[in-house]
A and B are shown apart, each in its own frame.
Chain A
Amino acid sequence: MSTGALIFMLLSWTFVLGLVSWSFAKILRGQRHFDPDGIGPASPPVPGAAEDPRR
């Protein structure tokens, strides 16, 4: 396998595996929603980490 092909393969794999790891790590870390009875939250939900409070 040529160096060029190896570089392109590794870059492609690193990009998609990096993206999927980053996104799922963030999702699994941030289980902020909780709704025990399926009707509504026991307390008001915490605003999203990226939500702008001025809006």
Chain B
Amino acid sequence: MSSPKEIQQSNEAWGSRIGLILAMAGNAVGLGNFLRFPAQAAQNGGGSFMIPYFIAFLLLGIPLMWIEWGIGRNGGRFRKGHIPGMFAAIWKHPAAKYLGVVGLVIPLVVLSYYTVLMSWTLAFTWFSLTGGYWGNTTQEAMSAYLTSYQMIGDDSVHSNWLPFLFYVLSLGSTIFVLSKGISGGIEKLAKIGMPILFLFAVILAVRVFFLGAGENGVSPIQGFQFIYNPDLSRLGEASVWLAAAGQIFFTLSVGMGTLQTYASYLSTKDDIALSGIATAATNETAEVVLGGSIAIPAAVAFFGVSGAMAVAQSGSFNIGFVSMPIVFQGMPAGQLFGAMWFALLFFAGITSSVAMATPIVAFFREEFGYRRETVSWIVGGVAFAFGLLTIFWLQHGMLDEWDFWAGTFGLAVMAFIEVILFMWIFKPENAWRSLHQGADIRIPTIFKFIMTYVTPLYLGAVLVAWLIQDAVPTLLLERAAPGTEFYVQASRLLIVGIIVFFLVMIRLAWKRNGYDDRVGFREVEDTPLGAPTYATEVNR
């Protein structure tokens, strides 16, 4: 057996509990909190959307959050920071590890295009500071400015190398943080990035609140009316409930495999029940209180209610990259507020992108013994190659295709698998006991029932609805733009290739380390994992 010192060298740990919660919340808080939520609320019944939204939060979001923390920490008992190992630790069956392949494929695929989106926010931070888009004061002009940067429009506005420069900077900073490890990189980033994100969001929300009525004579207060005005007749529509469940699902970053990896660096002496709630609550504050107070109220003040409705329906990215820059051009010190807005989105993005790469790094470190730095830069290289393809094939639908299969449908599949494994195969009693080890709060017993029966049924219903409504038509290319079929199919083939690659790597890892699926892993004892891991903050 390895000595504690050797094991400590090979393991990672969180430096403080606040650092852990900020990193978890940083993982969850992303572009969707500030762009997707207000648009979804406005489109789906306003205030009455909040009823299914909070019901989904209680029945789907919080239970899944606890389940993922529980699966992760249970995996950590066997020093498994990756989903194949975590699933195998729960279910002693040869199939368990292969089911876990989703927890490696989804983060890699999403990381590949997410860093491209992140690079847009970094570029627009720069364009805001330098006044690059100043003068483009109509939706059409600003849209042309954006598409030129994305290399799908008029190429005379931006140099061709610019998108690549910002992409390299974004991905490079992600991989740099990742290569510094959990407490040395990810936790430090969260401790710096999350307070900045919240500070910028509060400043922007206050600024928007005091904007005053625009040319249309509409004040930003009407924006809150636009988001929260209850249309109770919409409560009877299944699509509203589905939209609310989807928003909760995406906003909390469940089904990605990242929360589990972060939680695997905790011991059974550490609380996960209260920390899980704190993470979810931090994310909800960023979404409901701050996310709902910036983009839509600003759009209402500048474009009027009907203009804001058109903006909301034009998609989340148009709100962020087309409408908001127009708003900033119309306000005093707009360059500074514009830079704050895009820097906020960049911090929301980078705290999520480092999390996406973590499960893959953990897999190769733990199973093949590679150094963290080496694996981090290799993962970065692979993501770079796929990211370049995303940039070149943006107009051919690659990003949409990958986002649907990995970033939307894949998440629901992964979440469904883990609910069944944790609550039904691991058994509710074991799951409940596991969640309460080291707990600072006692979870209300009703949640045992909810997590065993309600959450899987709710999730199953959402999955079936998405399958019928979106997955089948997408698979049959019914939604592919004419002329993009080849690229869409090639994008799918790449995902299949990534799945096959990871299946082979899982097989090799199990063979190399001599794991017996029916016996399970040996529990790590007398190691830092047996002691509280976020323990040094009292001393700081």
Q: Do A48 and B437 contact each other (CB < 8 Å), given the known contacts A4-B229, A24-B278, A39-B8?
A: yes
Q: How far is the CB of A45 from chain B (nearest CB, A)?
A: 5
Contacts of A34 in B (CB 8 A): 532, 535, 538-539
Of the stretches B84-92, B130-138, B330-338, B439-447, the one at the interface is B439-447
Give the Cβ gap from A53 to chain B, nearest Cβ, in Å: 11
| B13 surroundings in chain A (CB, below 8 A) | 38
- Complex contacts, B437 vs chain A, CB 8 Å: 48, 51
Q: Are A26 and B536 in contact (CB under 8 A)?
A: no
Q: Which of B433-478 contact A (CB under 8 A)?
A: 433, 436-443
A35 to B539, CA, bound (A): 8
Chain A residues with a Cβ closer than 8 Å to the other chain, count: 40
Known contacts A5-B229, A27-B440, A38-B536: does B531 contact A45 (CB below 8 Å)?
Answer: yes
Interface residues of A in 17-44 (CB under 8 A from B): 17, 19-20, 22-24, 26-27, 30-36, 38-41
On B, residues with C-beta under 8 Å from A are 4, 8, 13, 17-18, 21, 46-48, 50, 54, 221-222, 224-225, 227-230, 269-271, 273-275, 277-278, 280-282, 284-285, 288-289, 433, 436-443, 528, 530-539
Are A8 and B50 within 8 A (Cβ)? yes
Q: A16-B289, A23-B277 are in contact. Are A1 and B224 (CB under 8 A)?
A: yes
A50, B277: Cβ atoms under 8 Å?
A: no
Q: How far is the CA of A36 from the CA of B534 in the complex (A)?
A: 10
Is the CB–CB distance between A50 and B440 below 8 Å?
Answer: yes
B284 in contact with A41 (CB, 8 Å) = no
Q: How far is the CA of A32 from the CA of B269 in the complex (A)?
A: 11
Q: How far is the CB of A9 from chain B (nearest CB, A)?
A: 4
- B531 contacts A55, C-beta separation under 8 Å: no
Q: Report the nearest B residue to A21, measured CB to CB.
A: B281
- CA gap between A51 and B442 in the complex, in Å: 7
> Which of A2, A4, A19, A33 has the largest number of chain B CB atoms within 10 A?
A33
New contact pairs (11) apart from A2-B229, A22-B281, CB-CB < 8 Å: A8-B46, A8-B47, A9-B227, A12-B54, A13-B289, A27-B440, A30-B440, A33-B534, A40-B528, A48-B438, A50-B441
Q: Are A8 and B536 in contact (CB under 8 A)?
A: no
Is the CB–CB distance between A19 and B270 below 8 Å?
no
- A residues contacting B by CB (< 8 A) are 1-2, 4-9, 11-13, 15-17, 19-20, 22-24, 26-27, 30-36, 38-41, 45, 47-52, 55
Would B271 and A5 count as touching, CB distance under 8 A? no
Decide if B528 touches A41 in the complex (CB within 8 Å). no
B274 touches A55 (CB 8 A): no
Kindly state the separation between the CA atoms of A32 and B214 in the bound complex, as whole angstroms.
52
Q: What chain A residues lie within 8 Å of B48 (beta carbons)?
A: 8
User: Top 5 nearest A-B pairs by Cβ distance?
Assistant: A35-B535, A8-B47, A50-B442, A33-B532, A23-B278
A15 touches B21 (CB 8 A): no
**Residue ID in chain A nearest B287 by CB atoms:** A16
Q: How far apart sit A37 and B282, CA to CA, in the bound complex (Å)?
A: 30
A-B contact pairs, 15 of them (CB 8 A): A1-B221, A1-B222, A2-B225, A5-B46, A5-B225, A6-B228, A8-B48, A9-B224, A11-B50, A19-B284, A23-B281, A33-B534, A36-B539, A38-B528, A55-B433
Bound CA–CA A16/B8 (angstroms): 38
Residue of A nearest to B530 (CB): A40
In angstroms, Cα B277 to Cα A44, docked, is 26
Taking a contact as CB atoms under 8 Å apart, the answer to whether B224 and A4 are in contact is: no
- Contact partners of B441 in chain A: CB under 8 A: 26, 49-50
Whether A19 touches B277, Cβ cut-off 8 Å, given contacts A12-B288, A13-B289, is yes
Which chain B residues lie closer than 8 Å to A36 at the CB level? 535-536, 539
Chain A residues closer than 8 Å to B442, beta-carbon distance = 50
- B531 CB contact (under 8 Å) in A12, A15, A39, A47: A39
Name the contact of A20 in the complex, choosing from B54, B230, B284 (C-beta under 8 A).
B284
